[in-house]
Amino acid sequence: MGRTLALAAVAVVIAGGLAIALRAKPRTDSNDAPFSAADENRAAELLADKSQVWWRGHKLPMPAKHTLVFRAPDRMGTFPEPPAGCPVMPVEVARALASGRARMSGDHPFQGRPVRVIDMRLRSLYLKEHIADSLNVPYNRMAEAFSSGALKGLDHGTIVILYGEIYPHFDATAHFRVEKFEAYYCLEGGLEAWKAKGYPVSVNPAVAEYLGALDGEKVVGGQNAPADPADVGPAALKALLDQGVDPLVIFVGDLATYNVGHLPKAERVPLDELNARFEKEPKDRLIAVYCGCCEGSAKGLSGIAVERLRQMKFTRLLHLSGHLKAWKDAGYAVESN
């Protein structure tokens, strides 16, 4: 109950004072340490060093045999050593290339190439904190990203710089080898080394606080499941959607109301279909429930739906305070069929 109250308290705070911060773009925090002349010179020295791997085809030989060690999804960017066959790019060189301040000779292998810094961590970790202007492609979404997502059509001549908290799992880099990218690297020391240098990082404290509270409630069924959902206001829910947190939004009202106007991407699930719809859904799925028949009372259709989901051992439930009316009153868009 204590953790549930803490989550609800965070939701209330976000719905109020922090809602503006959530809707705003993440701020860039350079830690008051710009790209120093010493770092710029160090990058230039490394780029000119003919013994470096970029002068030797960008590739490291794959070992005859290597062992993959799998961890939980949120730990796939925390390996202490770089993955097999992937060269490491010193953090000063990565900063110089990413900022367009790299000093290179005209015949340098990097000359004239686009640069793309890619964060391979889970989306929730990226939202909390990431290298400014980096692209988030979680390691387990790499194949999808190449076929139909953010990496589709990416120029094979791009200088790709991958990072995790430290080093990414082999799976995150292997796709670039398979796709025949020539110049893909791991960032030396990852996000930790980048931050230690004081290089630009985008952070959003409100998102970090909210996701941290949700992670604290991430219990898959069992007796520790929260007794009550967290009430969130329209501003907080919209902020989560805008930031890519991607809760599953469920409307449990009547079909006519749903067809006239519903929250973007909301799915209508009548109460008598609730059990069948969520029978195979992961119990830690973040679900936001609302209806259109009342103005935010604890009961009604949405209250019944939340209670049923709780009985089914779902543990990360949000209840839209004010429901459809509050959403419309806030001036937020709806979709119609």
User: Does residue 208 fall inside a structural domain?
Assistant: no
- pTM for the complete prediction? 0.60
User: Does residue 198 fall inside a structural domain?
Assistant: yes
pLDDT tens digit sequence for 272-311: 999 999 998 988 888 999 987 554 444 578 888 988 998 9
Q: What pLDDT score was predicted for residue 37? A: 93
Are residues 116 and 155 both part of a single domain? Answer: yes
Query: Strands (DSSP E) along 181-266, which ranges?
Result: 184-187, 201-203, 230-232, 248-251
CATH of the domain at 274: 3.40.250.10
The structural domain count of the chain equals 2
Are residues 160 and 31 both part of a single domain? Answer: yes
Are residues 250 and 166 both part of a single domain? Answer: no
Q: How far apart are CA 302 and CA 320, in angstroms?
A: 9
Strand order in the sheet with 184-187: 88-89, 184-187, 159-163, 115-119, 135-136
Are residues 148 and 258 both part of a single domain? Answer: no
Are residues 54 and 168 both part of a single domain? Answer: yes
Strand 317-320 and strand 230-232: the pairing is: parallel
- With tokens 């925390």, the residue in question is 78
pLDDT greater at residue 238 or residue 4: 238
Are residues 162 and 177 both part of a single domain? Answer: yes
pLDDT tens digit sequence for 190-218: 999 999 999 999 987 666 666 665 555 44
Tokens of 225: 């499941």
User: Does residue 163 fall inside a structural domain?
Assistant: yes
Q: State the chain's mean pLDDT as an integer.
A: 81
pLDDT tens digit sequence for 40-68: 999 999 999 999 999 999 988 877 666 66
Are residues 197 and 316 both part of a single domain? Answer: no
Q: Give the max Cα distance, the chain.
A: 71
Domain final residue pick, 203, 231, 266: 203
Are residues 140 and 71 both part of a single domain? Answer: yes
The b/e string for 310-319 (b: 16+ C-beta within 10 A; e otherwise) is: beeebbbbbb
